[in-house]
Amino acid sequence: MSGTEELLVEADRLAAELDSADPPALLDVRWRLAGPPGRDDHAAGHLPGAVFVDLDAALCGPPGAAGRHPLPDPAVLQAALRAAGVRAGHPVVVYDGGDGLGAARAWWTLRWAGHQPVRVLHGGFPAWVAAGLPVSTDVPTPAPGDVTVRPGGLPVLDADAAAALAATGDGTLLDVRAAARYRGEHEPVDPVAGHVPGAVNLPAGEYVGPDGRFPSSGALRERFAAAGVADAAPVGAYCGSGVTAAQAVLALHLAGRPDAALYVGSWSNWVADPSRPVATGG
């Protein structure tokens, strides 16, 4: 099985796996930055057997100084995953509404929590529907899972580590927000505009499509290399609150960089401390 196949699954292959004797656990993590949660979307139609998991309430902690989407409380995360039927060592597939953001953060969170066999449905719910596959409105009742959350499965940056990575020149800290936000010309969400000094801007649209689909691993490697990501040097990513940046980490994994770190608090954590420096311009 290739690295890409371990991270992404296409709709037709997932359909075959769901028809098997021991299908993967299926998590519906449809989510919108401005809300509301995707529970109503789930109720209107979902992949057969999929359990809705609220990204804000279960996969992230409450917003505050740590950021708008900080790390979850391990006990809360474990309870949510067990309620969704996630079993220790058993495959999980996550999907969202098609932009790939919620699914990527769910993928990252499960991996961070020590659960390795998790993949993203490539293209999300729209890809499933486009393939003519069945949609259900039944309320799933999975058997309780037994997964144990063990934080530390993926590398994490805090503000100090992010600043150090951006400042040293020995690695790359990617800011994957839109260029205008990076330059400090426009900030629609957080109270301060700009970027972490030394961070390199690589807007998400340059490595993933609006449908949440990624180009080939080779193309991803070329795009990250063009942004200054060197093969042997550390790399991390941040965005506004750690969701879009989780998708960047997934893209880096696809490009052969499983060591890529996520600044979970991202810009919303950085600007919570007014003593931290802010850079503007290109």
| Active site residue ranges | 239
Instruction: Please tell me the distance from the alpha carbon of residue 121 to that of residue 267, in angstroms, as a whole number.
Output: 28
Q: What are phi and psi of 104, to 5 degrees?
A: -65, -40
Tokens at residue 56, please?
């804000």
CA distances 85 to 41, 78, 80, 95, Å, are 20, 11, 9, 16
Q: What is the β-pairing status of strands 261-263 and 172-175?
A: unpaired
Compute the C-alpha angle 87/90/96, nearest 5°: 90
Tokens at residue 103, please?
């699914």
Of the candidates 53, 48, 115, the residue with the CA atom closest to the CA atom of residue 84: 53
Q: What is the β-pairing status of strands 25-28 and 261-263?
A: unpaired
What are the residues whose beta carbons fall under 8 Å from the beta carbon of 141, sequence distance 6 or more? none
User: 249 with 108: CB under 8 angstroms?
Assistant: yes
Of the candidates 154, 206, 218, the residue with the CA atom closest to the CA atom of residue 175: 206
Decide: residue 40, CB within 10 A, 0-12 exposed, 13-18 middle, 19+ buried: exposed
